[in-house]
Amino acid sequence: MKKNQEIIDQLNQLLSDFQIYYQNLRGFHWNIQGRNFFELHAKFEELYTMANEKVDEIAERILTIAGTPIHNFQDYLETASIQPVKNVHDDETAVQTIVSNLEHLISKERAIKELAGEAGDSGTEDHMSAYIEEQEKTLWMYKAWLK
């Protein structure tokens, strides 16, 4: 029971991080300027769409294991480790922020995956494995863009 609550708490922190990551991506999508506008405007939309799906999946996973997902922005801001950014218009700052946010998310997901494995929670473990695999590829691509 203690491990289950710990998993719920960690998933709520991940949910909060994803909400801030999502909102950062929306801001990048809306505010990007410069020569890479068309490319990045579309890419940022892909990323925020995927992040939005994960927000829903994480909340539903929390409910599945008898928890209550955090569901207001004040709690997200108080719980998240990812920091909100604003007024980012340039491509390099936006992509560097995405890289940093993804590195944080992957680290958090690995910790949750390990905790879920110890608790025998294969459903949460599988979710985290899928997220990690997808985000590692995305991270590689955005790091390559920065070079």
Kindly give the confidence (pLDDT) of every residue in the chain, 147 residues in length, as a single tens digit, with 9 standing for 90 and above.
678 999 999 999 999 999 999 999 999 999 999 999 999 999 999 999 999 999 999 999 999 999 999 999 999 999 999 999 999 999 999 999 999 999 999 999 999 999 999 999 999 999 999 999 999 999 999 999 999
> Model-level pTM?
0.96
Q: In 10 A of CB 143, how many CB atoms? A: 15
Q: Do 88 and 94 contact (CB within 8 A), yes or no?
A: yes
pLDDT in the model for residue 1: 62
Domain ranges of the chain: 2-146
Selection from 92, 109, 136 nearest residue 10 by Cα: 109
Domain 2-146, CATH class in plain words: mainly alpha
Identify whether the C-beta of residue 125 lies closer than 8 Å to the C-beta of residue 65.
no
- Whole-number Å distance between alpha carbons of 143 and 139: 6
- Can you give the pLDDT at residue 132? 98
Helix, strand, coil percentages, rounded to 5, for the chain: 80, 0, 20
Task: List C-alpha distances in Å: 147 to 46, 87, 98, 136.
Answer: 21, 23, 15, 17
139: CB partners within 8 A, 6+ apart: 99, 102, 103, 106
